[in-house]
Structure 1
């Protein structure tokens, strides 16, 4: 049995070598010729899986080790009798931690000692947006959640959801929607020129969903104006050939790595391994915990002299500081378009190991219950 897989999927050999012979190829350049004799196809978000790729192949199972599925033509797969599985929620916590780090940096930038003074508008309440809302509420933030599709079907809980314009008034606006081009609730260019014009210099706009959710041309024009919002972007229209002018104008710019924690990527692999095992009638014998290495940093200690917010910020940045990814990314912006695209993919392919907050044990000596609650809400392990 032949398994063709994106070379960026972690632990391929560990999870799938017992099932078939693995052939690793670059995901963005994957071609019909490379998958023609494959029985199983494993991809990430950069591979378009449709009739053009698979017609005439012997592929019977497709798995994407990612949350999103807009790169998969599920209707065609079903018509062709090809089984499909995704990994919803696999890296949701990784994206949540990316956003929390940005909010922490924003509070520092504004010289705000208590970051919960910032209101947060969440657009899209799926695995990522819902998880973020839960953590922010536990931390004491004022959270406004907008999700029209959910509001429509969950009428009995309509007070839980706000209109988009209300969410766009918050100090931090963070986007977590799928890319939907048609239907009652399209998200393509959801933030267009009029909505971007309504944002002001006191606000932070974060996009970790899909680049096409924001109108790039309109955003470039808006950011050139004096009262423009602060913007942090991890996703871009036309990846990997992103608009360098937009990246230069952004406060934080990263190459689509918000969900790239080691735990998130490995969990995606594990979920597809489980789905493939069920499809083939095989026992599920492997778990991601068997393969996760010891973290480079395993423990931090704070005494009663530590300020709660300073301590939390220190711990967050020990695990993840997006300014490092921003610095690496900006070095590529002066390259020619083709080189810039290759560098975008290289930064993702060779992304350094990033561990989630749960990998770090926090020792608190004589600290307040409030500090303990904050670290627990963030997801750190505590040693009191």
Structure 2
């Protein structure tokens, strides 16, 4: 007798190739509309599935996990970040959690550099001028930005993405500095020509650019709070392609409006799509709609990791990308 296929519920539209392969391997319920599930829909999905495939837009807290039926055994997250999932409660309930690490490193690092350049060279202001049809021609003092070569870049979080940003920044002639939970091995640090700062406060006060590349965890919430933001030089800029919750968005907005910071490039926001409206009004800010990982190649590779995690679990083994609370 053939083995019964796993029941899998996918909460958002995924690339066609990923959905097709999931359908070939499992008993899959796909999402027809590319909008987030309501809390009620998500709760119902967790009761009917062996495996749930959520994304960052699905808030899976302790209460929701507590209401899940006995059937759910794996939450195979489509994405690297799992701060939207209560991993500890899931573990207590015997539900495994997996993610898709590593595949978005290059894409996110590329976007970090794009934002860094956009802010320092005032690209969004130039684009706005062109789109309004208000450009009257070249002028020696028009839209003067700053040269990135020679500037000090402070990377907050030197994991895969932070190191990829460091390599790119070095190629642009920037001096790389970093703060991390643990110092890198000497050979990696030397290869990146990166200077380690044990004190985040001391690093922040000396940098021309700060790049946020650490995950959101309880210990990194508002790591860049009002006090720490005020340590930054008035001509410094901040770039965030990681998680919005790491930065106190209201404090950042106040400082940018007051001219206490030169600019910001943001791809993520503290309250998701509820972006501070005063932030959107500022000319010295480049805002993107969480595009850091938005490449077709990256999305397909994310899907491949989800497939491997589910298939490995179905075969009775530990998913290769299982997340446990001690990792967070």
* 8 Å CA contact 1:123, 1:175 repeated in 2: yes
2:269–2:275 Cα contact (<8 Å) kept: yes
* Runs of 4+ with >6 A deviation: 153-159
Among 11, 14, 25, the alignment partner of 1:19 is 25
Tell me which residue corresponds to 1:75. 88
Q: CA deviation at 1:88?
A: 1.2
Contact 1:199/1:229 (CA < 8 Å) preserved in 2?
no
Give TM-score scaled by structure 1 length.
Answer: 0.65
How far apart, in 1, do the equivalents of 2:291 and 2:9 lie?
Answer: 23
Matched, 1:248 2:284: no
Partner of 1:172: 209
Tell me which of 299, 303, 310 is aligned to 1:269.
303
100, 104, 109: which one aligns with 1:87 = 100
1:218 to 210, 232, 251: 251
The equivalent residue for 2:43 is 32
Instruction: String of CA shifts for 1:264-313, please: whole Å, max 9, x gaps.
Output: 22211111111111111299xxxxxxxxxxxxxxxxxxxxxxxxxxxxxx
Give the unaligned 5+ runs of structure 1.
284-384
Q: Distance in 2 between matches of 1:155 and 1:73?
A: 35
Q: Distance in 2 between matches of 1:6 and 1:125?
A: 31
Instruction: Kindly provide the CA deviation profile for residues 339-381 of structure 1, in whole angstroms up to 9, marking residues without a partner as x.
Output: xxxxxxxxxxxxxxxxxxxxxxxxxxxxxxxxxxxxxxxxxxx
Output aligned runs, 1:100-111, within 5 Å: 100-109=113-122, 110-111=144-145
Per the TM alignment, residue 241 of structure 1 is displaced from its structure 2 partner at its CA by 2.0
Cα 1:76–1:243 shift into 2, 3 Å: same
1:25-77 deviation digits (Å, cap 9, x = unpaired): 44352521133111110011121224433434211111112111111222222
- Paired positions, count: 276
User: After the TM superposition, which residues 292-307 of structure 1 pair with which residues of structure 2 at under 5 Å, given as runs?
Assistant: none
Task: Give the stretch that moved more between structures: 21-30 or 125-134.
Answer: 21-30
Structure 2 unaligned regions, length at least 5: 1-5, 123-143, 318-328
Is structure 2 residue 229 aligned with structure 1 residue 161? no
Cα–Cα, structure 1 residues 218 and 76, in superposed 2: closer, same or farther, change >3 Å? same
- On the 8 A contact 2:119/2:263 being kept in 1, the answer is no
Report the Cα offset of residue 166 of structure 1.
4.1
Q: How far apart in 2 are the matches of 1:8 and 1:145?
A: 37
Classify the secondary structure of the residue corresponding to 1:219. Answer: helix
Take 2:37 and 2:267, find their aligned partners in 1: how far apart are those partners?
Answer: 18
**Higher RCO (C-alpha 8 Å, min separation 6):** 2
Q: Distance in 1 between matches of 2:250 and 2:169?
A: 32
* Whole-Å separation in 2 of the counterparts to 1:172 and 1:13: 40
Any residues of structure 2 matched to 1:326-341 within 5 Å, and which?
none
